[in-house]
Amino acid sequence: MPSEGANAYQFARAGGSTVSAAAMAFFEASPSAKAVMQGKADALYPPSIRRTAEESMAIIRAEEERYIAMMARAPGIIRRIIGAEAEVTGEVLAKIHHTHGYDPLVVEDVLSVDLPSRVHDEYQVAYARHRESGKPV
């Protein structure tokens, strides 16, 4: 069954819209755009990564469940790490983020605090240093 885009494309080709000649030339020349407009976008992806809507929704649900589980663990992990440190610094925030995936806003939410901008600035420096070196904090 052709997609809505395919119907619009066919309508434009038949002279039924105000699509410019340049846009039509692009669609005629571009294999990717042409496939999409003809309702054959699936052909753009190798079979190994093609998914049905149901498969895609199952993947999204699984990712949502993993995220919910990760966030449920956040209070215990963050409080344990913060409890072992003398104070919350940018380095500590970077360690939490890189090791466990919790960014500074999650830490603030768990601790019910607004960390000073100085700590956020330290975090940005530590994060950049990690990214450049490729090593964990």
Half-sphere exposure of 109 (CA within 13 A, CB side): 9
pLDDT of residue 74: 95
Q: How many CB atoms lie within 10 A of CB 41?
A: 15
- From residue 135, alpha-carbon distances to 39, 40, 59, 81, 94 in Å are 45, 43, 30, 20, 12
pTM (two decimals): 0.59
pLDDT of residue 60: 92
Question: Please, are residues 54 and 61 in contact by the beta-carbon 8 Å criterion?
Answer: no
Q: How many CB atoms lie within 10 A of CB 10?
A: 14
Burial (Cβ within 10 Å: 0-12, 13-18, ≥19) of residue 64: exposed
Report pLDDT digits (tens) over 48-82: 777 788 888 999 999 999 999 999 999 999 999 99
Q: Which residues of the chain have pLDDT under 50?
A: 1-6
Handedness of CA 92, 106, 127, 123 (dihedral sign): negative
Instruction: List b or e across 81-103, with b for residues whose CB sees 16 or more CB atoms inside 10 angstroms.
Output: bbeeeeebbbbbbbbbbbeeebe
pLDDT of residue 1: 42
pLDDT of residue 17: 53
